[in-house]
Amino acid sequence: MACTGAGPVNPTVAPAATVTPAADPLLDRIIATADGRPLQPTELYERMAQTDVVYLAEKHDNPRHHALQLEALRTLLEAGKRPALGFEFFAREQTGYLQDFVQPQNSHGKPLSPAQAEQKLRRELGWGPQRDAEWAFYFPLLQVAKEHQLAVFGADLPDSLKRRISRLGRDKLSPVEQNLLSDSGFDDPAYRALMEQTLIDAHCGWNDPELIDHLYQTWLARNDAMAQSITAMAQAGTGQPVLVILGAGHTRHNMGVVERVQHLWPQARQLNLGYQELAREPQPAAAYYDKVVVQNREFAPAFEYFWFTPRVSFEDPCEQFKSQLQKHSSSAPN
């Protein structure tokens, strides 16, 4: 998540600073992993226009990724498309608030100014001042959607439900909470092993088996919810294509949300674009999309298309936790 410790950020202007490795030839290049061929942005956007669902997979705190998402939306509009816009960062139950903002209905009260309408939406969504930096990333997309009267929807589960699953596990939810979930029946041992290791890595090597299991359950529930939301919008023809703004983990290897949408709608034409931060040291493009093998299962490259961007930071995020992890390891029972 983006840090807000530096003070308030203008909610309509995303921060622009990113850090670029010196002389990396991949910077701003687009590569199709099917054949390793570089593409121009115009060719990629033309391909987007011919699909049902486009994933614009981001690293949440990278300003360049959000600028490119905005570019994709504007380019499709200029091509005569009317995309629908779905967000991981908003819950399905918040869709009404989003729709009321982008397609306001006549009211008996005094019309709101643009600033008042924005603040009203933030209150409804629960995005307080502590989330100014994140808001600056996503609100420009909502502004364009409002300008063009596009359909907008939240795709994910509510934060409260995600927290409950991650703490308790799905089986210990109340009947009402269980009723809010849909189980698509996904069961893939190799993917589970892949994701469990990914979750351990995300926690800097800390492995609490019960926690990792609960996090994986949360992951599956979220993927199911997002896939159902996306499929419902795409099949209804509410927007073409449906642009999905989400974190890259949910689409890696054409799994997660991508695989679940294909399961729900086998005829869906999907395009999986990953905005990829460059490595700390330059390396060939193929190093980014080498196939991964887990339990004798070969997964596809992380994305169908890579768009290489600057990094937000060169620091190792786990460095600051090393001493804590060492203490935890030394105190753990043998």
Tens-digit pLDDT profile for residues 12-70: 444 445 665 568 999 999 999 999 999 999 999 999 999 999 999 999 999 999 999 99
Report the alpha-carbon distance of residue 89 to residue 159 in Å, rounded: 9
- 219-261 residue pLDDT tens: 999 999 999 999 999 999 877 999 999 999 999 999 999 999 9
8 Å CB contact between 183 and 224:
yes
The predicted model gives 96-116 an average pLDDT of 88
> What pLDDT is attached to residue 224?
98
What percent of the chain has a predicted confidence (pLDDT) above 70? 88
Identify the H or E element spanning 227.
helix 209-235
Do the domain assignments include residue 44? Answer: yes
CATH classification of the domain holding 68: 3.40.50.11550
- 262-307 residue pLDDT tens: 999 999 999 999 999 999 999 999 999 878 999 999 999 999 999 9
- Quote the number of domains for the chain: 1
Do the domain assignments include residue 164? Answer: no
> What pLDDT is attached to residue 291?
82
Do the domain assignments include residue 260? Answer: yes
Do the domain assignments include residue 309? Answer: yes
Do the domain assignments include residue 139? Answer: yes
| DSSP E strand stretches across 1-125 | 30-32, 37-39, 53-58, 84-91
Do the domain assignments include residue 178? Answer: no
Report the alpha-carbon distance of residue 162 to residue 217 in Å, rounded: 10
Do the domain assignments include residue 300? Answer: yes
End-to-end CA distance of the chain: 35
Do the domain assignments include residue 170? Answer: no
- Residue numbers of the domain that contains 149: 30-157+239-329
